[in-house]
Structure 1
Amino acid sequence: MRYKFSNLNFVKIARPVFISAIVLVLAGIVSLSIFGLNYGIDFKSGSSVDISVSKNVEKAQVEPFLNSEEFGKYTFTSGESRISIRFEEALTDVQQKKLESDFKEKFDAKASFEVNIVDVDIAKEQEWNALKGILIACIGIVIYVAIRFEWRFAISAVASLIFVAFMVITIFSIFRLEVNLPFILAILTIIGYSINDTVVIFDRIRENLRFAKLKTDSDLTDVVNKSISQTLTRSINTVVTVAFAAVCLFVFGSESIKMFSLAMILGLLIGAASSIFIASPLWHLLRRKAKPHQKAKPQSAS
């Protein structure tokens, strides 16, 4: 599928996008300060109970049973042969045995249980490991882009990636969506897709710079606009294809991967826009300040 973007001034369009991005970042900081994140059991203490059943057990049957047993707050997902229950408080040995015996008695005598307990220390360690993984990924990208291109490209790329990740996290914070390990995997996957789009544009900018005669600021702007136009069709087709797969996972997938799919959809859309309207124009800004060009002289009326 081909599109025509040769007449668009992406650098000019990016100016209001920059302002909007700053506003969104400030709103995100306020949201995270007030609401924080809705951590799943992976990042806070609690019990995870996975039940393999030999016959279909309806969610409507199990929920009244869980409510009557006074196990505390929980989240519940079910499939044809598997039920997953996440309790916000760690179950005691007595509660675990009671849950298992009562469930087998009422629903399925052949059911098998897998119980995992996450304490506070493990939850904090997993939270730090997740943050460390994202940080290491960003540092690796800075080094790679700086070696392959130059430091201005590296700064622009990482600024764009941080914005994408922060926006997805902010959306999950505002709407109180659960943050778990699949969500972290989605963030790392999003970073990979986003840097891929950004590197493609940067590679075209570098290629076009070899043949460009940069005498004025307008010449540099033309190089950036031309490079984005030449790669935009590829970027759109790639994002649409992957986003379609992520939407299918969200609609038809199990409850356990819905947050992963949703984070992927948001990240792909925000990442595509960020590569075009943040990463490339930010490089343009840094490059223009590094080596001043003559301003284009207005043509006198003949």
Structure 2
Amino acid sequence: MSRLGDLGARLYRGEVGVDFVRRRKIWYCVSILITILAFAGLAVRGLHMGVEFEGGAVFTTPATEVSVEEAREVAEEVSGSQALVQTLGDDGEMRIQVSGLDTDQSNATREALAEELGIATEDLNAEVIGPSWGDQIADKAWRGLVIFLVLVVIYLAIAFEWRMALAALIALVHDITITVGVYAVVGFEVTPGTVIGLLTILGYSLYDTVVVFDGLKEQTREFTRQTRHTYSELANRSLNGTLVRSINTSVVALLPVGALLFIGGGLLGGGMLNDIALSLFVGLTAGAYSSIMIATPLVADLKSREPAIKAQDRKVLAKRAKRDDEDESAAPEDGPLEDDGPYDEEPLGQGSGTPVAAVRGAVGPRAPRRQPPSRGRGRGRPSGKRR
């Protein structure tokens, strides 16, 4: 078995572990700080919405020797609006997005852009997207997100309980907030691919959370019949039992997404696939954090407020304290052992004059027990010898 596999087995058996639940206030503070930064980014910079949401024109150029920076400057000068230029492969094709253009403005921009880039007007493909279509896309995206969250809450409330459903919902909102905040702070463009990626990461984040909740449900099924662990300790044990699996799942999911984002985006250029990979990479990282640091500690907090759970935790702690006191009273006091003198070879109770307790007290590392020789062996025989 590999070291990672051995560590996972030891975590599952409870032999080792990280006390995530006890340190939950640290994780809460980190999440609150990240959330504040995300909202600050949204308030200050806002989201850079793509032409699919704001409306505009998308121009696709044939192979050209014009650089991306030169094409961006030409597009912004001709249209008077901010332009986004992305390369499409290694042959020099480019995709130029200009927001806020109607059909007439798009035609004029197409002619001027073709002239500046030195290509024929008919070779410059143009696609006009109206703002109403973008509004429909945004409305459907919000509607799909709300329906997904409602279904998740209903399912978790039925399969587990409402406290776990609430914790999972908070973790999902946490992941969405962080992802959107990163887009706002860094200035990534929001496209329909971004929306697809956001809806996809919710499933990945929910997967790890449900796995941990299922283990917690099994371990706390007969919680009131045991007096060894509190609810928070069992929650932490369930979390450690699935820790290695959660990390492996997240890493395995991030590797192909990272390849699409960094290798595919760098070699093949931007596009819908790159937008999906970008939102997936940010969301998967946030989802792995929230499923471990937020969801389960939050469930432990909510459950520990129940009167029955609170009473059982007090009973466990009281019995544990009683066992500790009994162990301390039964343990020998530290200090040098007294020397009871040499061991008397007389059998106990046969006139040796040595009390039984004194002889037994001498038994130990300093006075190893020896079997006294029997003085009655060989008596009554003619020769006095053993047979």
Does the 8 Å contact 2:60/2:126 carry over to 1?
A: yes
Does the 8 Å contact 1:35/1:173 carry over to 2?
A: yes
Q: Relative to structure 1, is the Cα distance of residues 216 and 183 closer, same or farther in structure 2, using a 3 angstrom cutoff? A: farther
**2:197 matched residue in structure 1:** 186
**2:84 matched residue in structure 1:** 75
Does the 8 Å contact 1:209/1:223 carry over to 2?
A: yes
Alignment of 1:116-265 (within 5 A): 116-119=128-131, 121-210=132-221, 212-213=223-224, 218-253=229-264, 254-256=269-271, 257-265=273-281
Q: Distance in 2 between matches of 1:167 and 1:114?
A: 35
Q: Distance in 2 between matches of 1:214 and 1:114?
A: 71
Shift of residue 97, structure 1, vs aligned partner: 5.8
**1:271 matched residue in structure 2:** 287
1:48 to 49, 58, 64: 58
Q: Distance in 1 between matches of 2:122 and 2:104?
A: 21
Does the 8 Å contact 1:11/1:281 carry over to 2?
A: yes
3-state SS of the aligned residue for 2:23? helix
Structure 1: gaps spanning 5 or more residues = none
3-state SS of the aligned residue for 1:186? helix
TM-score by length of 1: 0.87
Shift of residue 64, structure 1, vs aligned partner: 5.8
1:16 to 12, 26, 38: 26
Does the 8 Å contact 2:57/2:126 carry over to 1?
A: no
User: Which whole-Å deviations, capped at 9, do the CAs of 1:209-244 have from their partners, x for residues lacking one?
Assistant: 235456669421222122112211111111101101
User: Which whole-Å deviations, capped at 9, do the CAs of 1:84-104 have from their partners, x for residues lacking one?
Assistant: 211022144364266258638
Shift of residue 109, structure 1, vs aligned partner: 7.4
103-112 vs 16-25, greater mean Cα deviation: 103-112
57-66 vs 7-16, greater mean Cα deviation: 57-66
2:301 aligned partner, one-letter code: L
Alignment of 1:99-118 (within 5 A): 99=110, 103=114, 106-107=118-119, 111=123, 113-118=125-130
1:255 aligned partner, one-letter code: G
The structure with the larger Rg is 2
TM-score by length of 2: 0.69
Q: Distance in 2 between matches of 1:19 and 1:67?
A: 43
Does the 8 Å contact 1:71/1:87 carry over to 2?
A: no
**2:301 matched residue in structure 1:** 285
Does the 8 Å contact 2:212/2:238 carry over to 1?
A: yes
Aligned residues: CA RMSD: 2.7
User: Which whole-Å deviations, capped at 9, do the CAs of 1:17-44 have from their partners, x for residues lacking one?
Assistant: 0122223323333332333222121221
Shift of residue 255, structure 1, vs aligned partner: 1.2
User: Which whole-Å deviations, capped at 9, do the CAs of 1:235-268 have from their partners, x for residues lacking one?
Assistant: 1111101101111111122312434322211211
Q: Distance in 1 between matches of 2:206 and 2:18?
A: 23
2:140 aligned partner, one-letter code: N
How many residue pairs are counted as aligned between the two chains? 298
Structure 2: gaps spanning 5 or more residues = 330-387
**2:64 matched residue in structure 1:** 57
From the two aligned structures, give the one with the greater helix fraction: 1
Shift of residue 180, structure 1, vs aligned partner: 1.7
Larger relative CO (CA 8 A, sep 6+): 1 or 2?
A: 1
Q: Distance in 2 between matches of 1:267 and 1:25?
A: 14
